[in-house]
Amino acid sequence: MSNQSIFNLSVGEFGLIEGLVPGENQYYRQRLLAEGVVPGEVLKIKRIAPFGDPIEVSLSGGNCFVIRRTEANIIKIRKVSDLEK
């Protein structure tokens, strides 16, 4: 199981979430978890702002949100090519 970060994904690509890297920022972790960033979820990069940050992502549940790539590093994610919705 490779440990890639969200930087490796480009627009339109899917990633399988494997977990969250433990860290100091409990609040950000809770926010991500509340949105649905849990292991087993599939995340799609919807669009990227100019200069590469922030990015808009969508989860398979349908909810979309905007996060900074630099902060989203704590998401352990693995790129997956074609996936059924």
Partner 1 sequence: MSINSQFQITLIGTPNTGKTSLFNCLTGEQQIVGNWDGVTVSLAKSSFSYLGHKIIVNDLPGCYSLIASNQMTLEEKLVCEYLNELRSEIFINVINLENLTRDLYLTLQLLEQNYNLLIAININNNDISLAANLAIKLRELLGCQVVCCNAATGFGIDKLKLAILDQTNFSDFKTYRHYIPAQIIEVINRYIDSNSNNNSKTKISVGILIRYLEGDVLAKQLLHHHQNINLFFIDNCMVEQSWDVFFASQRHEFIKKYFINSIKNDAKNNTNNNKILKNKLLDVLDTIVLHKYLGLPIFFGVIYGLFFLITKIINLTQYYFSVALEFAVIKSITKLFIICDIPNWLITIFNDGVAIGIITLFNFIPALLVMYISLFLLENSGYIARAVVLIDKIMGFLGLSGKSLVPMIIGFGCNVPAILGTRVIEQKRDKIITVLMTPFMSCNARLAVYSVFATAFFKSEQGNIIFYLYLIGVLSAILTGFLLQKILSGSRCNLIMSLPIYRMPALNVILTRSIGRVKKFLIHAGFSVMGMCTGIAILKNLNWAHYNLIGCTWFKYFMAIFKPMGIAADNWQAVASLFSGLVAKEAIIGSLNSFYRVDGNEIYGVLYAKFGSLEAAFAYLLFILLCFPCVSVIASIAKELNTKWAVFSAVWTTSIAYIVAVVYYQIATFNKHPQYSIRLLLVIISIILLVFIGIKIIIKTNKTQKANTIAIALEL
Residues that bind partner 1 (CB under 8 A): 19-20, 22, 25-36, 38-41, 47-54, 56, 59, 61-68, 71
Q: To the nearest whole angstrom, how small is the minimum distance from the Cβ of residue 63 to partner 1? A: 5
Q: To the nearest whole angstrom, how small is the minimum distance from the Cβ of residue 26 to partner 1? A: 4
Cα–Cα distance for residue pair 44/82, rounded to 1 Å: 11
Question: 24 vs 82, which CB is nearer to partner 1?
Answer: 24
Q: To the nearest whole angstrom, how small is the minimum distance from the Cβ of residue 27 to partner 1? A: 4
Cα–Cα distance for residue pair 83/67, rounded to 1 Å: 23
Instruction: Using alpha carbons, select from 35, 37, 48 the residue that is nearest to residue 75.
Output: 37
Question: 1 vs 81, which CB is nearer to partner 1?
Answer: 1
Secondary structure letter of residue 52 according to DSSP: G
Secondary structure letter of residue 66 according to DSSP: E
